[in-house]
Each structure stands twice: as C-alpha cells, then as structure tokens.
Amino acid sequence: MAFFDRLAERIAATDSVVSVGLDPDPDRLPEHVTDRDLPRWAFNRRIIDATHEYAAAYKPNAAFYEDPDGWRALEETIAYAHGKDVPVVLDAKRADIGNTARQYARSLDPDGLNADAITVTPYMGRDALAPFLNTDAGVFVLARTSNSGGADLQDLELASGETVYERVAGMAADLQGEVGLVVGATAPEELETVRSIAPNCPFLVPGIGAQGGDAEAAVEYGLSDGVGLVNSSRGIIFAGETASGDDYFRAAGAAARQLRDRLNDSR
C-alpha cells in the first residue's frame, strides 16, 4: 500500500498526527540503558513501548546512528516499530547524482533498513530525487526548514518573484510519487504559504517542543485531507530526564499523549 494511504490508516487508528522523533543523543541517555549491549536500541525500545499508542509515525534522525553499532540499533528500532504497526520516516536528508541516490534509496528497501519514508534535500534538483520516487515509500522534500539559518537561502527571492522555498514546494508538488514536504513549525507564515502552493501534499512539520514552534499552525497547515505529521523529538523522548527507572519512560508516554491531545484540539 502507498505510504500516505498507510499513514492515513495509522492516523485514524491512533487518532494522532504525532511523529515521535527517535534521536537518542548518547550524552543524554539514562544511566540504566548505558550498560546495555546497544544502548540506543535499548532506549528506543522502551520509548516505543511507552509511546506507540500515540504515535502516527516514528522519525529516527540518521545523524544519531552513523556508526556500526548505531546502524544495528537503527535496524532493530525500525523492525520493532513495524512490529507495533507504526510507520518509520528516516530523517536522512538524502539525494545525490543518480547512481549514488540509488544507493541512498536502499534505506527504503525491505532488505535495506526498510524505512517507510525518507527526507530528501531538493538542492541537487529533480534527477537527484528520482530514485526515491518510483516506489510506494514516502518522500518528504525539505522546503522551509525550522532552523534560523533556514532563511539564509530558502527565503531568497528568485527573478520570478517567488522565494526558493516556494519554488521547491511547487517543484515537489509536481513530482509523481508519494511526495510530502518538510516545513518547520518555527515559520508559521511560510507554512501557510507552502500550504497554498501545495494543497495536496502532506507535510512533516518539525520544530515544536524544544525549538518552540507553533503547534497550532503546524496542524492547521500541515495536514492535507487530515494526513500529515507533526514531530517532536527531545520534547518526548527526554521528557522524563529527571525521573528514574520506569518513570522515565512513563513520562515519555505522557508527553506523547499530551502532544496528541493538544494537536487534536486544533484538528
């Protein structure tokens, strides 16, 4: 089944558009997982157990797994999320010349990492995105990112009068495939603009919680026909930082539930 149909089913089943970001920063892992064989996997497993009923998706950022043990932890994490029926968006911000992009796209293959969707960067243009598009997997194209430097290039005005991020949104909306857009909740006006350019694209909206973005705008503009994802990573997985033992993970579950409920107030 195509990614956004599966995501729609998951959103309906959980009544949630929350994407739980699995970014297990080694410097912030609780002591009781650091002595395990694969601490990031041990941590993610407990987080998934605590949050899956509120999770429309999980979003591991590849940056937190870029070493041999990390890759094993990521494989285990994705398989475990699938065991709970939760789709996984690999936030890897890939794309490259064709033969290289084809290798990156293996992250979406069942005999690769088996992620359900991936984030890609539009900077190299359409051909660099093509290898990600001819499958049922979801492809979220970075349009207007949540960091302050996102404005440096993405807000530049082109000779046509449109901004770079508007051009990216238009290009992505024209692509064939399971295409969505990444637009940060820290840029609510840009969120509204991108929604008007790409009315049928589901958005992946990071930047709420730790980055202080606008959760209400994320819901108002992030969803297309009810489908889209609003991500929080540190705000959920480290919600229990001052707690210990099982309370640590209970706090993550409570944070995911509270975010679901808060977002649902605006749906």
Ligand X SMILES: O=c1ccn([C@@H]2O[C@H](COP(=O)(O)O)[C@@H](O)[C@H]2O)c(=O)[nH]1
Q: Which stretch binds ligand X (CB under 6 A): 124-132, 166-174, 203-211, 240-248?
A: 203-211
91 lies in the site for ligand X, by CB under 6 A: yes
Contacts with ligand X by CB under 6 A: the residue count is 18
Residue with smaller CB distance to ligand X, 87 or 207: 207
Residue with smaller CB distance to ligand X, 45 or 144: 144
Which of the 8 DSSP states describes residue 186?
A: T
Please state, in angstroms and rounded to a whole number, the distance separating the CA atoms of residues 207 and 55. Answer: 17
77 lies in the site for ligand X, by CB under 6 A: no
Neighbours of 164 (CB within 10 A): 18
Residue 68 buriedness (CB in 10 A; 0-12 / 13-18 / 19+): exposed
Residue pair 237/259 in contact by the 8 Å Cβ criterion? no
CB of 167 to ligand X, least distance (A): 17
262 lies in the site for ligand X, by CB under 6 A: no
Site for ligand X, residues 33 to 52, rule: CB under 6 A: none
Residue with smaller CB distance to ligand X, 234 or 262: 234
Q: Which 3-state string (H, E, C) describes 159-172?
A: CCCCEHHHHHHHHH
Tokens of 222: 């992030």
Q: How far is CA 166 from CA 190, 198, 220, in A?
A: 9, 9, 18
Residues 94-133, one symbol each (x = binds ligand X by CB under 6 A, - = not), give: ----------------------------------------
Q: Roughly how many angstroms between the first and final C-alpha of the chain, as a whole number?
A: 25
Among 16, 77, 107, 233, which residue interacts with ligand X (rule: CB under 6 A)?
233
154 lies in the site for ligand X, by CB under 6 A: no
CB of 209 to ligand X, least distance (A): 5
19 lies in the site for ligand X, by CB under 6 A: no
Please state, in angstroms and rounded to a whole number, the distance separating the CA atoms of residues 151 and 217. Answer: 18
Q: How far is CA 242 from CA 23, 146, 247, 252, in A?
A: 18, 27, 9, 12
Among 14, 16, 146, 163, which residue interacts with ligand X (rule: CB under 6 A)?
146
Residue with smaller CB distance to ligand X, 14 or 231: 231
Question: Is there a catalytic annotation at residue 59?
Answer: no
> Which residues of the shown chain bind ligand X in the complex (CB under 6 A)?
21, 23, 61, 91, 145-146, 182, 184, 206-207, 209-211, 231-235
